[in-house]
Amino acid sequence: MSLSSLTLALLSGAAAVPAGAAIPEAPAPVSAPAGAEDAAEYEAGAESDQHGSGEIVVTARRREETAQEVPLGISVVGGEQIETTGSYNVAKLTQLAPTLQLYSSNPRNTAVNIRGLGVPFGLTNDGFEQGVGIYVDDVYYARVASAVFDFLDVDRIEVLRGPQGTLYGKNTTAGAINITTNQPTFDFQGKAELSIGNLAFKQAKAAVSGPISETLAARVAFSGTSRRGTIFNVASGNWINEQENIGLRGQLLFKPNDDLSITLAGDFNTQNPECCGTVFVRTGATQRALARQYAALASAQGYSVVSTNPFDRLTDVDANLNAGNKIGGVSLRVNWDVGPGTLASISAWRFWDWKPENDRDYTGLPIVSKSQNPSQHDQYTQELRYNYSGKSLDFVIGAFGFYQRIDTQGTEQHGAASSRWNLTGALASDPTVLDGLVAYNTQYLKNTSFAVFGQLGWRVTDRLTIQPGVRLNYDKKDGYYERQVFDGQGNPVLYGQTDPRKVAQRGILAPQLITPEFSDWNFSYDLTVSYALAPDILAYGTYAKTFKTGGINQNGVPVDASNNPILAAGTIKPESVKHFEFGVKTQFWDRRATLNIAGFHTTIDDFQANVTNGQFGVLRGYLANADRVRSKGVEVDFSIRPSDRFNAYVNGAYTDAKYVKFVDAPCPPELSGGTTVGAGQTPSAPGTPGGLSPANCDISGQRLPGVSKWAFSYGAEANAPVTFLGKEGQAYLAFDGSYRSNFSSNPSPSAYTWVDGYALTNFRLGFRAQGEFNVYAWVRNAFDTEYFEQLTVGPSNTGLIVGQPGDPRTWGLTVSKNF
């Protein structure tokens, strides 16, 4: 085929197919995952099409069914699309699913939200649950840090939007991410993939599967990714925030007969990047005295930032950086057809070993010289389920047990510049007051949970189905937190010491000992009614009353006027969630087009918010309950495939998520740092140096952090048959993009931390020989858009704002081969 005829074929690929004509399966289209299931079915290919019907098969309701049959908001991404779009972890997946948000300053401090809900911004507190559950092959991953690892040999990913408490548990008040990997096969198959690109990007993936005997099969998969960092640290001479991931998964399938299958799986993943540093973005006036704000403090110490343009991608942070962590585990999954149903057992152990080093002052000055909080996590889970499918009734009943132990050993030490930065008067001129001041934190958490659950599907008629579900859950948490503080000479810093130096040191790092406990029973339920208006039109409505379990503060609590810990702040109440959703799922034009629409309204009483007090180490951040938050919106997912030569999609979401009532929230930086108002006094205007600051702020009615009101994902692919290297196949041109409007990057919205909206666009051009190999060139963030993933308020209310720039334009080449 000539270049001109190829171009003509690509441009004319959208021509309609005559009504009733068969539509050949596309080898690798880029149709949207977010609700565009008809398009995603072709993504997943034969591996997911277990029914041979051309419909993608999902397990969102713990049983196999086609995605368009599931009466809930669901986004499905096939393994092929994950690879071709470069969405190799959850952070990249957010560009394909508009209602999914991820924010990460390092693997531990990572938040995964759906529709603006899930987990609050800020330093992670081990004493409470996530609101978006992550499951891999039915195994619950309790630590959200797993979200920053590369996907490994994935068949599909289902993003379940809205509360999923009946079947997925107390940790899914906002939704769940259900990941299914490729399973061992009794026919030999394998795949290898290699990618190279700028920024020294290298990625290798391989998977091999096949029989060992007539009843035993195995599958082994490997993934390795490395990339130079995107920020240059002039202090160390290194590029930081690099990628350095290695993953390995092995599975053994024992299938003695058609009724029984037993799968033993193990995985190990490691990261060892020099990460995670930030760049200077701006300063904003606070209510601290003018001489104690950033510009004056930096000038007094002869310090100037290496660049005031954040997209120069330069920093000078002087403390050690490390984000080394290891995650892995073993699981045993048993599926046994017994009588009219299937009995499933999932037993698992998982671990996480986290070894961080950070620069918590975000500058090149020795203010905080060491900040480390290594932790070790072990979890054990056991789930039993029985699934029954009959002519008019389906049901799932089960039980789930969970035990978790987390141990953390923290160290925070101040340096020679800390006195000038944090103290006043003569003490500020004496660097020995805070130089060497160190706190050692010892903490552990024991978390035990047990639940029984069930969900019934009653087909009242051929069109009407009623689906109620219930879950009873018990939780118990026992915690321990001890902070011991010593000055630079090794002497303990204690309450009761009246020496001005000791008082000043206690104001920076305060000793504390608490042993919080929590236990409670909770009951969740939901009801979904669905009605088939026509063979390819399904309407549904859902009401869910669920919860997120209460928690304990594992990072310390405030103290009273006598400097005693306020023990009542050691625990937080459970979240109470009420959720309404209505939707319509449609397919038309002989199923060439899919249009799904959903509207939702979710309220959470006693929302678990992360609170900080603006100081370096008095509290790293503790949990409190906001009275109420609310998220409501509309999601529209559309995909079209008029022929096997062209497909396109566009998905959009409007999300209005706000604090309904939060009257005692932490104040934003422009209202912090001054003298706390007394009786009869009025707080100063925002950003008034030396002003009066409110003790806390009423942020009722303001937007929740991280939520863009508008978010879209979109893309298209055109292809044409060609012969290349003696192989018949397809040349294809594809693009995918995303847009999100502005969002707040601080728990209490601040004029200084709004991230501007941005759009990202990616292109691919390649050739594939169906079932044999695929080679394509790609460019991501093709227009080199400058944007921030997150902005952070610096400590001590000096007005410093730092940020993490998003990836610049990257480009490369990928080659994959099936055998």
Q: Which of 221, 210, 218, 191 is nearest to 771 (CA)?
A: 191
Could you give the C-alpha distances from 684 to 286, 309, 678, 688, 752, in angstroms and in order? 11, 31, 12, 6, 18
Higher-confidence residue: 343 or 130?
Answer: 343
Residue pointed to by tokens 């790293």:
620
What the block records as the tokens of 606 is 């006693």
Beta strands 438-459 and 464-486 are antiparallel
What the block records as the tokens of 145 is 């840090």
pLDDT in tens, 577-589: 999 999 999 999 9
Mean pLDDT for the stretch of residues 202-209: 97
**Cβ–Cβ < 8 Å for 437, 390:** no
C-alpha 446/C-alpha 332 separation (Å) is 24
Mean pLDDT for the stretch of residues 746-765: 95
Residue pointed to by tokens 């190829």:
6
Q: Phi/psi of residue 433, each to 5°?
A: -60, -45
**Cβ–Cβ < 8 Å for 794, 361:** yes
Mean pLDDT for the stretch of residues 528-557: 94
Q: Is 535 left (phi over 0), alpha (psi -120 to 50) or beta?
A: alpha
Confidence of residue 58 (pLDDT cuts 50, 70, 90): confident
Sign of CA dihedral 762, 768, 772, 774: negative
Beta strands 593-611 and 575-588 are antiparallel
**Cβ–Cβ < 8 Å for 323, 275:** yes
Burial (Cβ within 10 Å: 0-12, 13-18, ≥19) of residue 786 = middle
Please give the share of the chain, as a percent, with pLDDT higher than 90. Answer: 75
For the question of whether the overall pTM of this predicted structure is more than 0.85, the answer is yes
Mean pLDDT for the stretch of residues 480-508: 95
Sign of CA dihedral 168, 169, 173, 178: negative
Q: Give the angle 638-631-601 at the CA atoms, nearest 5°.
A: 70
Give me the domains of the chain, ranges plus CATH numbers: 28-818 (2.40.170.20)
pLDDT above 90 for 461: yes
pLDDT above 80 for 532: yes
Mean pLDDT for the stretch of residues 95-105: 83
Q: What is the pLDDT of residue 40?
A: 33
Distance of CA 695 to the CA centre of its chain: 32
Residue pointed to by tokens 């029914």:
51
Residue pointed to by tokens 């007969």:
257
DSSP string of 599-649, one letter each residue: EEEEEEEEEEEEE--SSSSS-S-EEEEEEEEEEEEEEEEEEEEEETTEEEE
pLDDT above 70 for 23: no
Q: What is the pLDDT of residue 138?
A: 95
Confidence of residue 612 (pLDDT cuts 50, 70, 90): low
pLDDT in tens, 111-154: 889 999 988 766 567 888 888 999 999 999 988 776 678 889 99
Q: Which of 170, 180, 30, 157 is nearest to 94 (CA)?
A: 157
How many other C-beta atoms are found inside a 10 Å radius of the C-beta of residue 694?
18
Q: What is the residue type of 130?
A: Q
pLDDT above 50 for 43: no
How many other C-beta atoms are found inside a 10 Å radius of the C-beta of residue 769?
20
Q: What is the pLDDT of residue 124?
A: 67
**Cβ–Cβ < 8 Å for 269, 328:** yes
How many other C-beta atoms are found inside a 10 Å radius of the C-beta of residue 535?
8
Q: What is the pLDDT of residue 86?
A: 76
